[in-house]
Amino acid sequence: MKTQLLIPAAGMGQRLGAQGPKALTDLCGEPMLVRTLRAFSGLGLLPGAVVTIPGAYASEFRNVLASAFPGTPFSLIDGGAERQDSVENGLHALDADTDIVVIHDAARPFVAVASIHASIDAAIAYGAATVAIPCNDTILEAESDDFLCNTPDRSILWACQTPQTFRVDVIRKAHEIARREEFVSTDDATLVRRVGGAVKLVRGTPLNFKVTAPGDLALARCVIEGGLA
Ligand code: CTP
Ligand code: MG
């Protein structure tokens, strides 16, 4: 089974207050994207990886990748307005003979290798899989005026992470239908499920958090300085 990596990295980090692409934010001496990619190097998934980027920053991304991974070929593809548009562009750029695509946010630099393996194995077995963790917090559903309207049963709730891994035909079809029906999601597994596909949940780790707000960036730096990852 030919497996290819797709990294959505085209976001501009509005919630982080980033001055440029979030993926290029410094994490203790190297861009976040470099640390994220390194997690996949032992699996042989770096050569030919597709990375979606903000088109205006192509030369910055090219330089960062060439200096961190000399001689490794990457496919840099312009992202779109939303993450889903970026992933869709990336899916179009996969090699014709790719069977399995591993989609992982540039903004999750501490993914465990075991989670990547588990996600790939589950996608081969079931067609689609996502890494996720059971919710520890009780989740509150609010009305528009910030009053509590519903408290879903925590025992069946999971917090979504990436990698999300798919048979290429499965995720391409799900994206196609989402585009046609103008359905937008912040993840890809949801697109598969809404057209009836099975999606296996694979247990991840709390360290695989997404760097979203300034506090997450501070935490990420502590993780590195503390030698936790
Ligand atoms: N992403 C992307 N294309 C977009 C938006 C997001 O490829 N148009 C990527 C980001 O680079 C990130 C991942 O999708 O790796 C998850 O997105 P998010 O954490 O929301 O990042 P940003 O969109 O950059 O952050 P914000 O929403 O705060 O602006
Ligand atoms: Mg975003």
Q: Domain residue spans in the chain?
A: 3-225
Q: Which atom of ligand 1 is nearest to the CA of 8?
A: 7
Is the pTM value of this prediction over 0.95? yes
Positions in the chain whose pLDDT score sits under 50: none
Residue 132 pairs in a beta bridge with 160, 203
Q: What residues does ligand 1 touch, defined as CB less than 6 Å away?
A: 8-16, 22-23, 52, 79-83, 86, 105-107, 210, 212
Q: What is the pLDDT of residue 2?
A: 98
CA 125 to chain centre: 21
Contact 129, 167 (CB under 8 A): no
Q: 3-225 — its CATH code? A: 3.90.550.10
Contact 170, 128 (CB under 8 A): yes
Q: What is the pLDDT of residue 45?
A: 98
CA of 82 to the centre of ligand 1 (A): 7
Name 156's Cβ contacts closer than 8 Å, sequence gap at least 6. Answer: none
Q: What is the pLDDT of residue 62?
A: 98
CA of 19 to the centre of ligand 1 (A): 14
Q: What is the pLDDT of residue 111?
A: 98
CA of 23 to the centre of ligand 1 (A): 9
Q: What is the pLDDT of residue 137?
A: 96
- Omega before 109 within 30 of 0, i.e. cis: no
List pLDDT tens digits, range 134-162.
999 999 999 999 999 999 999 999 999 99
